[in-house]
């Protein structure tokens, strides 16, 4: 915040006068004071001890005395070991707040200019076209979308990309089962979303395949051999060969069923509130890596075994040998990703390529980066794997259509239904039209889902509890949405007293009395650009989610303890209405970064 820069300059001056030594501004560490200590900002003095030739405690006390004597806006201090906790005067907070409130650029933390010349690519979703999206995809999409929005908010040019896995044996399984059991049914004839219809036949293939395998085992064939010799699997493999050879009938069926899935995905994406700038398709990418494989062979980075397969040896890097081409010349996933990464860099010259992919692929992305490095591509270190952990539901909370995964569409609709049920029970929407009520239920339900998932650091495995997420109290989306709606209600009521509204040129620095709750609110508001900057650098929507919860929590404490509109207290009312206005603006701004809407009324 503004005073942090001023304090760092003051510490530099004080250190020079006290110890006749110069300290670089970059070596002066300042952080918010921990809640269990008195103070606003803390100067970390451990690293100054050697330069000053004194203990951290002595330096802290001497610097504190100097700052109190020479800096008018420092009203007090205390020292805890090597930490100098500074108390800032109320007048300083009001001045800083007034300057920030009148400067839109204050709320926009800008990224390093060197990163802004080329786009950041954020790849997320990456579904298979043999089944609908599920709960894991929800976490993936929400993280990817929000990270992209955080990067945009800090000035980065961003492109959201989606690599559709639209080829392979799994796709052929759905196609073959539909041919055998589908009787020509379509999304239109069944009323099913296209992705659900195709997913139904993926499950049907598995059922038929298991039955054939069990029959072969009963005839005395070993289980592993039975899986390989099952007629249905052999047919699926033959269908894949036909597809790769361009068989017209097979390709036509593939295009038709994929089109059903794409339409279904699009409906789910709209409901989830995520979007993409560019779609890539595995069917168009899977051969790209073969040129890189040949390049690696020419450079002696890769080697070929006697059976014709191509490998790379990563044992010196602490990994193992990695297959790049099978003996029949077909590519594997890592080959495809090598080719796709190269194509994207040639097309986009990206400053970073962020893969939002589950942590089960940690090894895969280590290998990808290492191979590119060994090949001499100087952009290998611009690839980043944003690894996230699993998300689970409490057992028995919701069932999916397939019985094995939590379907994304069903989960979202259940969230909206629960939001409607709880909202009606609270009895706060009696004057809403049916359309307004339905829009509110969707906003609350989706806000609950998104916030509950995004408030958890991506690296952590999480348990998503639908009922807990829609609680209107605590660290939830609806609590923050309700805080925004509460502020908007206060502002509407204040319209009946136009003389009490802060004017266009109003400055909060005019206010002379600042209570503890107002002070804490202002401090929390002023942290916004710094939290935004760190959240963007760390690709962490959770930091923004927990920041805005803390702001909402502090506002509600203030709201319950102090009146906001009092016609007998003009200056106080103007100041508090202005504070409400800034709080509402930041709540809205932050929730939108998380893809969450804000209701004007609740």
pLDDT by residue (tens digit) across 61-83?
Answer: 999 999 999 999 999 999 999 99
CB atoms within 10 A of CB 211: 11
* Type and span of the H or E element at 372: helix 362-374
Examine the fold and report which residue of 73, 88, 103 is the final residue of a domain before the chain moves on. 88
Examine the fold and report which residue of 88, 111, 137 is the final residue of a domain before the chain moves on. 88
**Above 60 in pLDDT, residue 397?**
no
Across all residues in the chain, what is the average pLDDT? Answer: 93
Question: Which among 584, 580, 536 is positioned nearest to 558, based on CA atoms?
Answer: 580
Q: Are 176 and 239 in contact (CB under 8 A)?
A: yes
Backbone angles phi, psi at 200, to 5 degrees: -60, -40
**Above 50 in pLDDT, residue 437?**
yes
Q: Output the CA torsion sign for 563, 569, 572, 574.
A: positive
Q: Are 456 and 389 in contact (CB under 8 A)?
A: no
pLDDT given at position 413: 96
Q: What share of residues in the chain are helix, strand, coil (percent, to 5)?
A: 60, 10, 30
Q: Are 126 and 164 in contact (CB under 8 A)?
A: yes
pLDDT given at position 380: 97
**Above 70 in pLDDT, residue 114?**
no
Number of domains present in the structure of the chain: 2
**Does a structural domain hold residue 317?**
no
**Does a structural domain hold residue 214?**
no
**Does a structural domain hold residue 77?**
yes
Tokens of 63: 């610097």
Q: Check which CATH number belongs to the domain holding 527 and give it.
A: 1.10.730.10
Three-class SS of 235-246: HHHHHHHHHHCC
Model confidence at 583, in pLDDT bands (50, 70, 90)?
A: very high
Tokens of 15: 């250190």
Please state, in angstroms and rounded to a whole number, the distance separating the CA atoms of residues 437 and 24: 58
**Does a structural domain hold residue 361?**
no
**Does a structural domain hold residue 153?**
no
Model confidence at 414, in pLDDT bands (50, 70, 90)?
A: very high
**Does a structural domain hold residue 525?**
yes
Tell me the DSSP string of 114-171: GGSSSPEEEE----BTTS--BHHHHHHHHHHHHHHHHHHHTT--EEEEEEEB--SHHH
pTM above 0.85, yes or no: yes
Beta bridge mates, 391: 462
Model confidence at 399, in pLDDT bands (50, 70, 90)?
A: very low
Question: Which among 129, 113, 167, 141 is positioned nearest to 412, based on CA atoms?
Answer: 141
Examine the fold and report which residue of 28, 55, 88 is the final residue of a domain before the chain moves on. 88
**Does a structural domain hold residue 281?**
no
**Does a structural domain hold residue 505?**
yes
Tokens of 131: 């089944």
Q: Check which CATH number belongs to the domain holding 57 and give it.
A: 3.30.1360.70
Please state, in angstroms and rounded to a whole number, the distance separating the CA atoms of residues 171 and 452: 33
Q: Which domain holds residue 71?
A: 2-88
pLDDT given at position 427: 83
């Amino acid at each position: 915040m503004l005073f942090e820069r001023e304090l760092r300059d003051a510490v530099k001056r004080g250190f020079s006068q006290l110890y006749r030594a110069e300290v670089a501004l970059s070596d002066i560490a300042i952080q918010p004071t921990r809640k269990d200590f008195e103070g606003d900002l803390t100067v970390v003095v451990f690293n100054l001890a050697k330069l000053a030739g004194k203990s951290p405690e002595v330096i802290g006390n001497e610097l504190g005395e100097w700052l109190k004597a020479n800096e008018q806006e420092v009203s007090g201090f205390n020292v805890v070991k090597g930490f100098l906790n500074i108390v800032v005067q109320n007048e300083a907070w009001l001045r800083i707040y007034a300057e920030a409130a009148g400067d839109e650029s204050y709320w926009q933390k800008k990224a390093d200019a060197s990163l802004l010349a080329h786009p950041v690519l954020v790849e997320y979703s990456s579904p298979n076209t043999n089944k609908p999206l599920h709960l894991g995809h929800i976490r993936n999409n929400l993280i990817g979308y929000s990270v992209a929005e955080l990067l945009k908010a800090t000035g980065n040019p961003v492109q959201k990309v989606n690599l559709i896995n639209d080829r392979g044996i799994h796709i052929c399984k759905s196609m073959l089962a539909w041919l055998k059991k589908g009787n020509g049914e379509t999304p239109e004839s069944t009323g099913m979303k296209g992705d659900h219809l195709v997913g139904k036949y993926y499950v049907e293939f598995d059922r038929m395949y298991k039955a054939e395998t069990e029959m072969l085992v009963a005839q005395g064939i070993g289980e592993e051999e039975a899986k390989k010799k099952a007629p249905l699997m052999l047919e699926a493999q033959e269908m894949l060969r036909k597809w790769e050879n361009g068989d017209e009938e097979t390709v036509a069926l593939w295009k038709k069923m994929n089109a059903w899935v794409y339409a279904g995905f699009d409906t789910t994406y709209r409901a989830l509130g995520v979007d993409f700038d560019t779609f890539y398709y595995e069917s168009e990418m899977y051969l790209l890596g073969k040129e890189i494989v040949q390049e690696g062979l020419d450079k002696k980075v890769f080697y070929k075994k006697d059976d014709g397969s191509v490998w790379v040896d990563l044992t010196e890097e602490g990994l193992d040998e990695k297959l790049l081409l099978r003996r029949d010349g077909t590519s594997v996933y890592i080959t495809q990703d090598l080719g796709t990464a190269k194509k994207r860099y040639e097309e986009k010259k990206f400053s970073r390529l962020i893969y939002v992919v589950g942590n089960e692929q940690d090894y895969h992305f280590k290998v990808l980066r290492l191979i590119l490095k060994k090949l001499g591509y100087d952009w290998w270190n611009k690839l980043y794997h944003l690894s996230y952990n699993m998300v689970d539901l409490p057992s028995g909370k919701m069932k999916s259509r397939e019985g094995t995964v939590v379907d994304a569409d069903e989960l979202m609709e259940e969230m909206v239904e629960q939001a409607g049920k709880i909202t009606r029970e609270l009895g706060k929407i009696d004057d809403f039209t049916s359309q307004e009520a339905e829009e509110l239920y969707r906003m609350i339900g989706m806000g609950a889902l998104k916030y509950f998932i995004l408030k958890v650091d991506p690296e952590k495995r999480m348990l998503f509890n639908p009922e807990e997420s829609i609680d209107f109290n605590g660290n939830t989306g609806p609590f923050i949405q309700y805080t925004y709606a509460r502020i908007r209600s206060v502002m509407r009521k204040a319209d009946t007293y136009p003389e009490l509204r802060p004017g266009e040129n109003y400055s909060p620095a005019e206010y002379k009395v600042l209570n503890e709750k107002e002070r804490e609110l202002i401090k929390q508001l002023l942290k916004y650009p710094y939290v935004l900057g760190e959240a963007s650098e760390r690709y962490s929507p959770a930091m923004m989610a927990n920041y805005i919860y803390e702001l909402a929590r502090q506002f509600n404490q203030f709201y319950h303890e102090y009146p906001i509109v009092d016609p007998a207290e003009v200056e106080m009312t103007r100041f508090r209405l202005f504070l409400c206005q800034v709080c509402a603006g930041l709540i809205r701004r932050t929730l939108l970064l998380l893809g969450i809407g804000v209701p004007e009324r609740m």
